[in-house]
């Protein structure tokens, strides 16, 4: 993996350009299904909304998909509000058992995207920290490093290092010296094999893992609509396409870590979206409905009407949505890898 090191800096910069970014992509869709594009009342294709569109790099179809960074920035406040603080005390207890290192806690953030996990967690932990940010997109790695937090909860220094690569390269050797592995909104877009790789690497290194915001397969919308359940079912099917775990990810991950002797805790971490989050809700709706139609093309016409109604209610401040997620903390048995 190519590595670069940079000191943590201040707030995230404005949008630097049109390139796309991977990771943290729950609810993101890949384009119109065979029945044709789904559009909302304005004629905007739901599957090609700027902040949600999943694309391949031109001429390089085998590269991992990339997601617009605007979507990651838009969802960051909701992610921060949703993550399970109840898992932080057992995490702090585990981290306090580790030997003291001159450079403080070493934290590996896998699939870091724009670095939102570090911006949330680093200021909640005491002591000096060195974050190792993993992603396959060099632009996102640069963005995450520049926008990383400066200080821990007690004012200690936070530094960052970037490593370009994918989950398949995450070996126990790569985690040598790690105090913690983190990921956000990642598990549901992994396969069972990838989750097994992750658990095995953490267990071999004796490194605990805090894995947040995995979709749970449930969405509650108020007021209710007769098409809610069918859209949700179709979306869940879409999440499981090409072998991805989707809403089964947390159970599969808990099993994988338990097989390696880890203690696993889970806690709900739902998005609660109301009149104060209309921009995020509208974008999420387009992605959620668009993915359902891609999976079940017969839904195209009723889903278009449904999307119009839901977007109108959202704009009027009359729609409330709970998107259920689950956070997972796996405490692996300590080994020489953390000393």
pLDDT tens digits, 76-104: 999 999 999 999 999 999 998 887 777 79
pLDDT tens digits, 298-339: 999 999 999 999 999 999 999 999 999 999 999 988 765 443
For the record, the structure tokens of 1 come out as 């993996």
Does 23 score more than 80 pLDDT? no
CATH topology of domain 2-22+46-215+244-270+325-338: Rossmann fold (3.40.50)
Helix (H) or strand (E) holding 324: strand 320-331
Q: What percent of the chain has pLDDT over 90?
A: 66
d(CA 310, CA 7) in angstroms, rounded, equals 44
For the record, the structure tokens of 243 come out as 């072998």
d(CA 317, CA 31) in angstroms, rounded, equals 28
Q: How many CB atoms lie within 10 A of CB 325?
A: 27
DSSP 154: T
Q: What does the pLDDT read at residue 46?
A: 40
Q: What percent of the chain has pLDDT over 70?
A: 78
User: If you average pLDDT over residues 34-43, what whole number do you get?
Assistant: 41
User: If you average pLDDT over residues 40-48, what whole number do you get?
Assistant: 42
Which of 187, 173, 324 has its CA nearest to residue 257? Answer: 187
Whether this model's pTM surpasses 0.75: yes
Does 43 score more than 70 pLDDT? no
Q: What does the pLDDT read at residue 142?
A: 87
Average pLDDT, the chain: 82
Contact status, residue 9 vs residue 146, Cβ threshold 8 Å: yes
pLDDT tens digits, 136-175: 888 889 889 999 999 999 999 999 999 998 776 788 889 9
User: If you average pLDDT over residues 272-280, what whole number do you get?
Assistant: 96
Greatest CA separation found in the chain?
61
Residues 255/62/216/35 CA torsion (nearest 10 deg) = -140
**Per DSSP, which regions of 36-88 are E strands?**
54-55, 66-67
Q: What does the pLDDT read at residue 60?
A: 46
d(CA 189, CA 192) in angstroms, rounded, equals 10
Q: What does the pLDDT read at residue 53?
A: 37
Calculate ∠ Cα 191-193-195, nearest 5°: 70
pLDDT tens digits, 190-230: 999 999 999 999 999 999 999 999 999 999 999 999 999 99
Which of 181, 109, 180 has its CA nearest to residue 145? Answer: 109
Model confidence band, residue 267 (pLDDT cutoffs 50, 70, 90)? very high
Write down the domain spans for the chain. Answer: 2-22+46-215+244-270+325-338
Token pair 């044709």 is found at: 36
């Amino acid at each position: 993996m190519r590595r670069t090191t940079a000191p943590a800096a201040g707030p995230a910069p404005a949008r630097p350009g049109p390139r796309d970014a991977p990771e943290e992509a729950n609810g993101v869709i890949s384009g119109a299904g065979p029945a044709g594009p789904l559009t909302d009342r304005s004629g905007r294709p739901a599957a090609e909304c700027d902040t949600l569109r999943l694309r391949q790099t031109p001429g390089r179809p085998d590269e991992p998909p990339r997601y617009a960074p605007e979507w990651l920035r838009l969802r960051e406040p909701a992610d921060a509000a949703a993550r399970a603080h109840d898992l932080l005390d057992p995490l702090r207890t585990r981290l306090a058992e580790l030997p003291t290192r001159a450079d403080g806690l070493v934290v590996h953030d896998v699939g870091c995207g724009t670095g939102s996990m570090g911006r949330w967690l680093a200021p909640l932990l005491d002591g000096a920290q060195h974050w190792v940010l993993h992603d396959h997109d060099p632009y996102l790695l640069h963005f995450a490093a520049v926008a990383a937090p400066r200080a821990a909860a007690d004012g200690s220094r936070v530094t960052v290092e970037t490593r370009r690569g994918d989950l398949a390269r995450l070996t126990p050797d790569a985690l040598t010296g790690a105090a913690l592995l983190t990921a956000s909104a990642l598990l549901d877009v992994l396969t069972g094999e990838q989750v097994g790789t992750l658990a095995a690497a953490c267990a071999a290194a004796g490194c605990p893992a805090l894995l947040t915001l995995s979709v749970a397969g449930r969405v509650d919308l108020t007021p209710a609509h007769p098409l809610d359940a069918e859209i949700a079912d179709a979306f869940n099917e879409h999440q499981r396409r090409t072998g991805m775990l989707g809403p089964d990810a947390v159970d599969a991950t808990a099993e994988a870590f338990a097989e390696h002797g880890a203690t696993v805790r889970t806690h709900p971490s739902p998005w609660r979206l109301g009149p104060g989050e209309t921009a995020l809700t509208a974008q999420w709706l387009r992605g959620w409905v668009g993915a359902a139609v891609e999976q079940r093309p017969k839904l195209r016409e009723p889903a278009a009407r449904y999307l119009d109604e839901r977007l109108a209610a959202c704009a009027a401040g009359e729609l409330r949505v709970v998107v259920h997620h689950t956070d997972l903390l796996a405490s692996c048995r300590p080994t020489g890898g953390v000393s």
